[in-house]
């Protein structure tokens, strides 16, 4: 068997641990295993020499035997990477083979279907199976490639925790810890200055990161996409705290949160070959708070810090378990499937069962009920 691994979409802590688990599990079975550089780019650039993006340590030993953007992976290439953030293979969120953004002579961008070329490259490289590690977009691509004839297995990844069918995605736990740490640090400065702080967090259309870190970090107001907010309720909470002598407040807001009847704030709308970029709601909420309460207010966007750093123990274990489960799925020839975390076990679902959907926070979830019973304002 000759297996290839692709990491696509935004990076997430734990990606390297999955790569290590797949590589070692494959080698144990006597398979050959290759890393595809930067999503699927590596299959298109065979013939050119590339190396793994191990910027951290041991760059030389990680180079591996490179056939263009396909890198032969052995124990040397994956040694000591479980705790490293990012992905040694590199990634891109502009690498959809079915909608490849291609610049035209007049400067405009056209989406070109290069999936036939990819299938040809896959076959020319004599590959037998593909493991695609990614979020909803990458799993959709894996599904479409499988339909086209590439034996593919998916591994769900995203800090947003919004992939359906899996209790949790690796990267989420680490992102929540990073966000909680940031909220913790704001408490002392907010209290010292009697200020309101508004922290905007990632998560796209789901509020998992914001809800979990807001509750763990003792935020006073938590605004998530699943619960459209009334800004007056937010301001009343801040006034009530002032009246009780708590002259500072921490508001956490998910990038996808929006007011009743309002729209999500975008940094950039979808262009050809890219998805829309969310962001800006934190500043909007902060401005409203200033105008309505007169309180000195600061806002910050935690941004890509949430994607960085060493994966937590939970994320490492989850990633290692999912990686070895992906190798088992290949051994069973269970293609068109995705490995998922269904505590206490790891199991499999058809890729078709998880794509095109978003796992939102259920309104009756225990975490929401806990936040409400602690008196945290959810903006409704
Ligand atoms: O999906 C992960 C994520 O970090 C989202 O939370 C965020 O909206 C998006 O990716 C940011 O993407 P980019 O890296 O393109 O700015």
Q: For residues 155 and 13, state if they share a domain.
A: yes
Nearest CA to 235 among 283, 196, 279, 262?
A: 196
Within-domain flag for 350: no
What is the residue with the minimal CA distance to atom 8 of ligand 1? 204
**147 and 252: one domain?**
no
Q: Are residues 145 and 216 in the same domain?
A: no
For residue 220, report the distance from its CA to the centre of ligand 1, in Å: 25
Residue 247 alpha carbon to ligand 1 centre in Å: 34
* Residue 139, in any domain of the structure: yes
Residues 94 and 114 in one domain: yes
262 and 293 both lie in a single domain: yes
The answer to whether 12 touches 170, Cβ cutoff 8 Å, is yes
349 falls within a domain:
no
Give the position, in ligand 1's atom list, of the atom nearest the Cα of 209: 6
CATH of the domain at 26: 3.40.50.450
Q: Looking at the 3D structure of the chain, how many domains does it have?
A: 2
- Which CATH number does the domain housing residue 199 bear? 3.40.50.460
Tell me, what's the pLDDT at 49? Answer: 46
Pairwise CA distance, residues 15 & 318, whole Å: 10
Ligand 1 pocket list (CB less than 6 A): 10, 93, 135, 158-160, 202-204, 255, 277-278, 307
Whether 9 and 135 share a structural domain = yes
Q: Report how far residue 335's alpha carbon sits from residue 326's, in angstroms, rounded to the nearest whole number.
A: 10
Strand partners, 103: 109
Question: What single DSSP character describes residue 215?
Answer: H
pLDDT-derived band at 46 (thresholds 50, 70, 90) equals low
Tell me, yes or no, whether 290 lies in a domain. yes
Instruction: Tell me: do 8 and 143 sit in the same domain.
Output: yes
Q: Tens of pLDDT along 59-69? A: 444 555 565 68
Task: Examine the pLDDT at 28 and tell me if it is beyond 50.
Answer: yes
* Same domain? 68 vs 106: yes
* Residue 348 forms part of a structural domain: no
Average pLDDT over residues 188-203: 98
**Any domain includes 257:** yes
Closest atom of ligand 1 relative to the 162 alpha carbon: 1
Residues 315 and 303 in one domain: no
C-alpha span between 114 and 49 (Å, rounded): 22
Name the residue at shortest CA distance from atom 13 of ligand 1.
10
* 20 and 159 housed in the same domain: yes
CB atoms < 10 A from the CB of 45, how many? Answer: 17
pLDDT at 57: 40
Distance from residue 106's CA to the centre of ligand 1 (Å): 29
Nearest CA to 141 out of 81, 92, 88 is that of 92
Whose CA is closest to 198, among 224, 165, 221?
221
Mean pLDDT, residues 342-349 taken together? 98
CA of 379 to the centre of ligand 1 (A): 24
Which residues participate in catalysis according to the annotation?
160
Atom of ligand 1 nearest to the CA of 202: 6
In three-state secondary structure terms, 340 is strand
| Claim to verify: residue 57 and residue 95 sit in the same structural domain | yes
Same-domain status, 222 and 122:
no
Strands 109-112 and 129-134: unpaired
- What range defines the domain where residue 137 resides? 2-170+311-343
Q: What is the pLDDT of residue 270?
A: 85
- Listed in sequence order, the DSSP H helices in 15-114 are 15-28, 41-44, 59-62, 75-78
Which atom belonging to ligand 1 lies closest to the Cα atom of 9? 1
- Whole-structure pTM over 0.85, yes or no? yes
CA of 89 to the centre of ligand 1 (A): 18
Alpha-carbon span 250 to 230, nearest angstrom? 17
> Considering the domain boundaries, does residue 351 fall inside one?
no
The residue among 3, 12, 33 whose CA lies nearest residue 128 is 3
Nearest CA, atom 14, ligand 1: 10
Say how far apart CA 68 and CA 272 lie, in whole Å.
27
Per the domain annotation, does 380 fall within a domain?
Answer: no
């Amino acid at each position: 068997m000759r297996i290839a691994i692709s990491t696509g979409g935004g990076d997430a802590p734990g990606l390297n641990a999955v790569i290590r688990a797949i590589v070692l599990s494959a080698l144990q079975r006597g398979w050959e295993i290759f890393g595809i550089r930067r999503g699927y780019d590596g299959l298109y650039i065979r013939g050119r020499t590339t190396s793994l993006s191990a910027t951290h340590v041991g760059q030389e030993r990680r180079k591996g035997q490179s056939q263009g953007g396909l890198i032969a992976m052995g124990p040397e290439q994956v040694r000591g990477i479980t705790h490293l953030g990012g992905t040694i293979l590199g990634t891109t969120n502009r690498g959809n083979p079915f909608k490849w953004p291609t610049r035209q002579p007049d400067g405009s961008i056209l989406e070109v279907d290069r999936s036939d070329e990819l299938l040809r490259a896959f076959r020319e490289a004599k590959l037998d199976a593909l493991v695609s590690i990614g979020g909803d977009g990458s799993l959709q691509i894996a599904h479409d490639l499988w339909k086209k004839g590439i034996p593919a297995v998916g591994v769900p990844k995203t800090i947003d925790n919004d992939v359906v069918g899996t209790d949790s995605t690796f990267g989420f736990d680490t992102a929540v810890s990073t966000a909680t740490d940031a909220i913790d640090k704001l408490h002392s400065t907010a209290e010292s200055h009697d200020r309101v702080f508004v922290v905007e967090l990632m998560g796209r259309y789901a509020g998992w990161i914001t809800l979990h870190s807001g509750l763990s970090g003792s935020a006073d107001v938590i605004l998530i996409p699943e619960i459209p907010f009334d800004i007056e309720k937010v301001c009343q909470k801040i006034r009530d705290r002032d009246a009780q002598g708590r002259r500072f407040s921490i508001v956490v807001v998910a990038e996808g949160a929006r007011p009743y009847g309002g729209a999500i704030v975008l940094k950039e709308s979808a262009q050809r070959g890219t998805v829309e970029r969310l962001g800006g709601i934190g500043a909007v909420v902060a401005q409203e708070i200033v105008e309505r309460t007169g309180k000195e207010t600061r806002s910050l966007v935690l941004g890509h810090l949430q994607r960085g750093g060493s994966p937590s123990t939970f994320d490492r274990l989850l990633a290692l378990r999912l990686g070895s489960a992906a190798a088992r799925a290949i051994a069973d020839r269970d293609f068109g499937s995705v490995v998922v975390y269904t505590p206490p076990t790891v199991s499999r679902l058809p890729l078709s069962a998880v794509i095109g959907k978003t796992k939102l926070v259920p309104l009756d979830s225990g975490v929401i009920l806990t936040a409400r019973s602690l008196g945290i304002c959810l903006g409704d």
